């Protein structure tokens, strides 16, 4: 039996997070980010009613994978501005890879990199505020929030 490499549990950053259970080497493929591909606006509208938890991953084509619909535990990945994991798009699928060696107990992060079309209202800004605490924190999970 393969050892479980990750588990979802309470995070100090936001809600639940995904944590390493085993040592992970840089470059390892960890999990597929599953969910329904939709527009970010649709995902945002849906998640507003979901007590502020963001389960969304931005694709390079401006669409979003909504991990709250048909998603797996990858949806618990929190955003950080200096993440230890990255998402690699392969066709229309997304896989999470480690960017660095990760120790058991470390929380796994990706950069959501959400690209917002249209005006960014204060409401949207607030919903996607980042509190990762990195020295280079953009204060936002959005790619184009400035
Ligand atoms: Zn941040």
Query: Coil, helix or strand for 31?
Result: strand
The structure tokens listed for 123 are 């409401």
Q: How far is the CA of 86 from the centre of ligand 1 (A)?
A: 15
Q: How far is the CA of 21 from the centre of ligand 1 (A)?
A: 24
User: What superfamily in CATH does domain 6-127 come from?
Assistant: SET domain (2.170.270.10)
pLDDT at position 53: 57
pLDDT at position 23: 96
pLDDT at position 28: 96
pTM of the prediction?
A: 0.86
Domain range summary for the chain, segments of one domain joined by +: 6-127
The structure tokens listed for 73 are 């535990």
Q: How far is the CA of 1 from the centre of ligand 1 (A)?
A: 37
Across the range 108-115, mean pLDDT stands at 88
């Amino acid at each position: 039996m393969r050892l479980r490499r990750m588990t979802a549990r309470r995070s100090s950053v936001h809600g639940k997070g995904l944590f390493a259970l085993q040592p992970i080497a840089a470059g390892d493929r960890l999990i597929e980010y599953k969910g329904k591909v939709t527009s970010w606006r649709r995902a945002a509208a849906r998640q507003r009613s979901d007590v502020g938890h963001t389960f969304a991953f931005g694709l390079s084509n401006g669409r979003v994978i909504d991990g709250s619909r048909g998603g797996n535990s990858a949806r618990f990945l929190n955003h950080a501005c200096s993440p230890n994991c990255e998402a690699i798009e392969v066709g229309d699928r997304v896989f999470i890879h480690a960017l660095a060696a990760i120790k058991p107990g470390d929380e796994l992060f990706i950069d959501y990199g959400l690209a917002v079309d249209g005006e960014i209202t204060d409401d949207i800004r607030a919903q996607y505020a980042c509190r990762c605490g990195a020295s280079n924190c953009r204060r936002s999970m959005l790619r184009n929030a400035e």
